[in-house]
Amino acid sequence: MKRQYFGTDGIRGRTNAQPMTALMALKVGQAAGAHFQRGDHRHRVVIGKDTRLSGYMMESALVAGFTSVGMDVVLLGPMPTPAVAMLTTSMRADMGVMISASHNPFEDNGIKLFGPDGYKLSDEDEAAIEALIVDEPELVDATHIGRAKRIDDAIGRYVHFAKSTFPDRLRLDGLKIVLDCANGAAYSAAPLALWELGANLITLGVDPDGTNINKQCGSTAPSLMQETVVASGADIGLALDGDADRLIVCDEKGKIIDGDQLMALIALSKKERGELRGNALVATVMSNLGLERHMAANGLDLLRAKVGDRYVLEMMKERGCNVGGEQSGHIILTDHATTGDGLVAGLQVLAAMVDAGRPASEMLNQFDTIPQLLKNVRYSGGNPLEDARVKQAISDAEAALAKDGRMVIRMSGTEPLVRVMAEGEDAAKVEQWVDHVCAAVKEVA
């Protein structure tokens, strides 16, 4: 069954336009609540959100949906996506919900669902929920309507969990860190965790107003972090995205360190300690060819999954690996979490730095990247990749780059964009063929 509403990371779109309306949120609550009511215990869902203005509306609609089918609701308030996943299992809930559009602007919102094991839903679960959205599940009798309760110590629970992933023998004393929380879900939790570990913090993006999430800050706009690191003489900069499941870093010189470099550091650190499982790192088709060569030089495989952290996780499970992620900064460490966690990933990077006693510029630049270029082309409808002119342009580009590079073209699962990526030894050649494909897409888009 083709999914109508779910993309690569839940349901997402512009608020008050289909599918991201309060009515749809109510229907999702009813459908997901009915689907996950298994067994004869009192059923429970935990709901977190980021700092978007529309979060209040979507939260209220979801509460109405879940309670109408007899499920109790625990409200966490603004909370990182990985915290929702963790608290779903910790509180023995039947499912978890995160209201967030991640790195998108505040006008957008989304609904991410987790099963009772804290993992994002399978395609089968999403298909079953979509069927119930269409058919509408049965509502419970008035005597069995669920209850809603807000808990006040959710942030403290998550901070305690995040700190537990940092080695007990280490501290962050003397380390000056610039931390950018994107005015998003981790604006309170992330600074608290690093401060409790002893860091000297300079914080950015910690004053959300409902409309400034990801606005000129966070992992998708890290220039302010870079400038602040250099100007303040900080040792490192960490930038999270709106729901804090993504991490981008810069070293003390202001150079951006992406997810590929961070995964390499974490994987090789675990290998040295005998903790890396599967003798491999799981990344996606978008990760740099330099990462693949670096892993091979260290006796490790690089396994490539489809784009989307849920697909990375599926491959990690299949191959018995415990480190994986995406170049964009989603890093999954299954020894600690069931989904990407920007704060936890950051703590592993900081632990490696403190342990080695070396500056970030030496620790984090793990390998030389192969020239790579990614461009996005927005489209208004249909599938431009099915057009014969675009197919021909892609075929020509792939043939031209076949000897010393590769090309990846895909539809975004979260926005109406065609993503065109190429890499190869010759940067000018890479740019030439990316532009060639983009021009063809624009012509039909």
Q: What is the pTM of this model?
A: 0.90
CA nearest neighbour of 348 among 219, 225, 193: 193
DSSP-derived 3-state class of residue 160: helix
Domains and CATH numbers, the chain: 11-152 (3.40.120.10), 157-246 (3.40.120.10), 257-364 (3.40.120.10), 372-444 (3.30.310.50)
Four-CA torsion 234, 171, 50, 29, nearest 10 degrees: 160
Compute the distance between CA of residue 28 and CA of residue 332 in angstroms, rounded to an integer: 27
pLDDT confidence of residue 333: 97
161-181: pLDDT as tens digits: 999 999 999 999 999 999 999
**Residue 333 in tokens:** 């460490």
Question: How does pLDDT run across 119-158, given as a tens digit for each residue?
Answer: 999 889 999 999 999 988 999 999 999 999 999 999 999 9
Instruction: Give CA–CA dist 310/338, Å, rounded.
Output: 10
pLDDT at residue 2, as a whole number: 62
- Which residues, 6 or more positions from 148, have their beta carbon under 8 angstroms from its beta carbon? 63, 67, 72, 73, 74, 75
How much is the pLDDT for 224? 97
At residue 368, the pLDDT reads 93
The residue type at 54: S
The confidence score (pLDDT) of residue 405 equals 87
Rounded Cα distance, 157 and 153, in Å: 6
Burial per residue of 283-303, b for 16 or more beta-carbon CB atoms within 10 angstroms, e otherwise: bbebbbbbbbebbeeeebebb
* Helices 189-196/154-164 angle, 10° precision: 50
- Active-site positions? 102
- Reading the block at residue 88, the tokens are 């779903």
Q: What confidence tens digit (pLDDT) does each residue in 278-310 have?
A: 999 999 999 999 999 999 999 999 999 998 888
Question: Which two tokens mark 369?
Answer: 């990247």
Show the low-confidence residues of the chain (pLDDT under 70). Answer: 1-2
